[in-house]
Structure 1
Amino acid sequence: MFIGQLGWAAVGASGSTLLAALAAEVKPDDKVNYLALLTTTGALVAVICMILAGTLSDRTRSKFGPRNPWIIGGAIVGTLAFACIGLTRNPTLLVIAQMVYQGGLNCMLSAFNAVPPDYVPDSVLGKVSAFGGAGYLLAQIIGAVIAGTLVTHPSHGFLIAAWMMMASSIIVVLLLPPHPLRNQSPRPPVTWHQFGAQIKPPSDGQFWWILVGRFLFVISLFMVMQFQLYIATDAMGMTRAAAGKLIATNSAVLAITAIILDAVTGPWSDKIKRRKPFTMIAPLVAGAGIIPLLLVNQPWTLTIFAAMGGVAFGTYMAVDGALMVEVLPNRDDSARDLSFLNAANSLPIVFAPGIGAALVKAVGYPGLFIATIILSILGSLCITRVTRVT
């Protein structure tokens, strides 16, 4: 889990800043709207591929297991498409490459995120979730270093970062034990009509409160994180090179604080057998970290936000994976159901620039900050509605 999260998230972390820099080069007079186009179209493909691949992964029976073909196949497609983003300046081809990258990435993630319910006993889910969270958070440092170093040459960044996802996926497949804990008896064939019915998300209310709360928390954090480059250059008057160094520093601050909280919170939640308190407090901490940005227009406020965001994100990541597995209504459909839940985690990262662009154009950066505070509070309130998990 550590290695798999490290690989894909390092690519994604570098890609968010590099994509913003590339959008500014390709469409300098309309960079905000063009970045929104790139990320929104990618998000639509991501949703479709994650849910379809998750459902198909649950039904896959091969000598390589139900998850491995999707992990490797998605990683190959995503890696090649991510590298292709760095090979063109054509606006249309960039949109297509971004869509293919998101499709491959989310096919891989739909299978990879189903590994814990297949292999991991409930008694150590918090610890495993913490290891996965640590990989994700360390990836933020690696991605930030790549992006901060190459923000003035974003095409090079795409070509360099792309291969980490493929390498980590190969290692994951080689290290996974051959037989999961969960029974993998053959499934009877189904018609296309039956398959279409299976793609629907579960109607379980507890599942939906987790999904909505997760979505609101992540988007409240990443709407600001993904606009750091434009906040620093447009609102605070920094050069792109100076902003790149600031973003690299802030990403390191976020990741270090998050890793510390992740290492403590995951095992702690296993020990006390509680998940909800951590996922209720984390969004409120992230919202509080945005207040300095709202009050003072100085670069150091972005660093304060990064530190408090790291505390919030590390706390959340440490127990989030365990919480999602424990709330599943039926583990035989774990990849499908986790695909919906993980869409609430990955899609805000993709949708954030589009929603943020609309807010910035309508009410400016202060309006963006106020909106993220409100979303973080609503995300915490959603978790209070979950009763199946303590």
Structure 2
Amino acid sequence: MWVGAVVIGLAPNLLIVGAGWVLGMSGWSIAGAALQTLQADKLPEKQRGKVAALTGLMTQVAPVIGIGIAYAVSSSTLLIFLVPGVIGAVLLALFPLIKPEGSSVSLARSGEMTLKSVVSSYGFNARKYPDFGWNWVGRFVFFVGLYFNTTFGTFFYSQRLDLPVREVAGIVATVGMIGVVAAAAGAIVGGFLSDKLQRRRLFVMLAALLFVGGAVAEATAWSLPQIIVGAVLMQLAIAVFATVDQAIIYAILPDRDQAGRYMAVTQFAQKIPSAVAPLIAGVVITIGAVGAEKNYTLLYLVGAAFALIGGLIILLKVKSVR
């Protein structure tokens, strides 16, 4: 991760920037996956919502801090990438010292690691583990709806507010900052309340309904106040869903001794929609479009439908979690 940041900071051309980005994101993904796996391994049921909430809160606060650090050293392109990278690397290096796990020498090994064994490890028996399978499907469908409604935000604001794209940057930033506050509140409230009430699926469904409300508000919005209301509702919904569904995943892992494997499988339910949904959304906005006006109303309503279906799947099909 740190090396990738340095490469980007020193890159003489776009190709090297891309290489540094891939390197840095690979490190970030590995570290994030390891932390999630550790939570799946160690957290007791009564703390899963709280920890997921605090994790969600940090994912909202950290980018703001990062932007502040970058602004403080903005006179140097290298420092913009180097300083946050060093901070992240140092904190990650300290983590195993603060939370040691002991030696792994005596742990049982499942056999030789090959490309075939790695690829096959991502499969699982959905009939044997129906809760995990249905939660994966519900999460996948919800995130399809999410990416439908977040991909073309800048162009949506431009069309609905009748402004050139270059003039909506300030609006996007303002809406984004308000959304950060809403997301932080959603993560904390959803996580802590779901722990206290020991109800997870109810909060997932509540998140889906909030998302529908926000998507409908945006679909019918032609003014900035209504757009802000819609965006805040959707950010609140996303935070509640992500936090509580994370706690559900920890509870329904098919095999806690292979938590890393199943957490990786879970990530596909988010990563695949992030790649596929924007492509489909680009087609949806052309349906019934008149001239240069794109059909964002249809796009946001379709996204709302996907989110609602995702929430219903988890509410009705995941049986072992309340």
**TM range, normalised to the smaller chain?**
0.7 to 0.9
Q: Deviations over 1:255-287 (max 9, x none)?
A: 212222322222222222221111121012111
Q: What is the CA distance between 1:238 and its match in structure 2?
A: 2.2
- 1:128 aligns with 51
In structure 2, what is the equivalent of residue 366 of structure 1?
A: 297
TM normalised by structure 1 equals: 0.67
Change (3 A) 1:255 1:96: same
Partners of 1:157 and 1:353 in 2: CA distance: 31
CA RMSD of aligned residues (A): 3.5
Shift of 1:178: 0.6
Letter of the structure 2 residue corresponding to residue 164 of structure 1: P
Distance 1:344 1:82, change over 3 A: farther
The corresponding residue for 2:61 is 138
| Letter aligned with residue 111 of structure 2 | P
Q: Tell me the residue number matched to 1:324.
A: 249
Q: 2:212 aligns with which of 277, 287, 290?
A: 287
Contact 1:219–1:349, Cα closer than 8 Å, also in 2:
yes
Secondary structure of 1:129's partner? helix
Which of 109, 132, 138 is the aligned partner of 1:187?
109
Q: Which residue of 1 aligns with 2:90?
A: 170
Task: Map residues 1-390 of structure 1 onto 2, 5 A cutoff.
Answer: 75-76=1-2, 79=5, 88=13, 102-139=25-62, 141=64, 160=80, 164=84, 167-176=87-96, 177-179=99-101, 185-190=107-112, 192=114, 193-203=116-126, 204-363=129-288, 364-383=295-314, 384-390=316-322
Distance across 1 between alignment mates of 2:45 and 2:236:
25
Cα distance in 2 between the residues matched to 1:357 and 1:186? 48
Contact 1:289 1:304 in 2 (8 A): yes
Residues 77 and 387 (structure 1), Cα distance of their counterparts in 2 relative to 1, 3 Å cut? farther
TM-score norm. by structure 2 comes to 0.79
Q: CA 1:348/1:125 → structure 2, altered by over 3 Å: closer, same or farther?
A: same
User: Residue 319 and residue 184 in structure 1: after superposition, are their counterparts in 2 closer, same or farther (change >3 A)?
Assistant: farther
CA distance in 2, matches of 1:223, 1:145: 30
> Which structure: larger Rg?
2
Q: Is the 8 A contact 1:279 1:320 kept in 2?
A: yes
Structure 1 portions without partners, runs of 5+: 1-74, 150-155
Gap runs ≥5 in structure 2: 289-294
Percent identity between the two aligned chains: 22
Contact 2:154–2:172 (8 Å) recurs in 1: yes
Per the TM alignment, residue 223 of structure 1 is displaced from its structure 2 partner at its CA by 2.8
Query: Number of aligned pairs?
Result: 305
Letter of the aligned partner of 2:203 in structure 1? F
3-state SS of 1:288 partner:
helix
SS at structure 2 position matched to 1:361? coil
- 1:294-320 C-alpha deviation (Å, 9 max, x unpaired): 223333333112210132123223322
